[in-house]
Structure 1
Amino acid sequence: MKISLRAGERVYINGAVLRVDRKVSLELVNDVMFLLEGQVMQAADATTAMRQLYFIVQLMLMNPTDVGAAASLYGQHHAALLAVCENREMLDGLAAIDEMVGGTRYFEALKRIRALFPLEEAILAGTTTKSPFKAA
């Protein structure tokens, strides 16, 4: 896989943070877990349940040698989401995400979580046709 970076841009590869000082192209010749700087969510931006799930999975991807604490947190957060959600699209997405995380396919899981952000926003705004959360 070949990626191009602009001067000053960062890439996170297998737990290491690399910053380039000039425009560069990198060819990754083996399997690595990486995130481009634009895909990294800051803790302050994890303001909703799905964004928090994204942040947790991101931690798992960025530090693959020590996923224990993040995996435990992921399990708790994912279970809490399943307990309150009844929107079928969201439930299907959470099931797919759990399968990806279980298979250490963290980058794919992050993409799937990002795809659910608009649905979560609609749910929080109350613009869905049916309540997405179970009655308390």
Structure 2
Amino acid sequence: MKISLRAGERIYVNGAVLRVDRKVSVELVNDVMFLLEGQVMQASDATTAMRQLYFIVQLMLMNPTDIGAAVALYGEHHAALLAVCESREMLDGLAAIRDLVGTTRYFEALKRIRALFPVEDAILAGLAGAATEIPFQAA
């Protein structure tokens, strides 16, 4: 896989943070876990349940040598989401995410979670429009 990076951009590879000082192309020639800087969510942006799940899985990808706490938190958060979700699309997505995380395919899990952001946003907008308390409030 070939990746092009701009000057000053970072890439997270197997837990290491690399920053380039000029435009560069990097070819990853073996199987590695990586995340581009633009795909990294800051803790302050994890404002909904799905975004919190994204952040937790991101931690697992970015720090693969010390994921015990993140795995435990993921299990609790995923179970809580399953307990409150009624949308078939969300439930199917959560099942796919569980399978991906279970096989340490964190990057693919992050992509699947991102695909559910609009679904969650629509659910939250509907709940907010009905003047109902939103169950996906950030902790």
What does residue 62 of structure 1 align with? 62
Aligned residue pairs: how many? 129
> 1:66 Cα deviation (Å)?
1.1
Does the residue aligned with 2:29 lie in a helix, a strand or coil? Answer: coil
Matched residues, percent identical? 86
Query: TM-score scaled to structure 1, two decimals?
Result: 0.92
- Determine whether 1:79 maps to 2:106: no
Does the residue aligned with 1:8 lie in a helix, a strand or coil? Answer: coil
Give ranges in structure 1 of 5+ residues lacking alignment: 128-132
Query: TM-score scaled to structure 2, two decimals?
Result: 0.90
What does residue 130 of structure 1 align with? none
Task: Provide the C-alpha distance between the structure 1 equivalents of 2:121 and 2:27, rounded to a whole number of angstroms.
Answer: 36
- Determine whether 1:123 maps to 2:123: yes
Task: Provide the C-alpha distance between the structure 1 equivalents of 2:64 and 2:88, rounded to a whole number of angstroms.
Answer: 31
Does the residue aligned with 2:26 lie in a helix, a strand or coil? Answer: strand
Task: Provide the C-alpha distance between the structure 2 equivalents of 1:116 and 1:85, rounded to a whole number of angstroms.
Answer: 12
Q: Once the two structures are superposed, what CA deviation does each residue of 1:94-122 show, in whole Å capped at 9, x if it has no partner?
A: 00000000000000000000000000000
CA RMSD of aligned residues (A): 1.4
What does residue 46 of structure 1 align with? 46
> 1:67 Cα deviation (Å)?
1.0
What does residue 21 of structure 2 align with? 21
Task: Provide the C-alpha distance between the structure 2 equivalents of 1:18 and 1:54, rounded to a whole number of angstroms.
Answer: 21
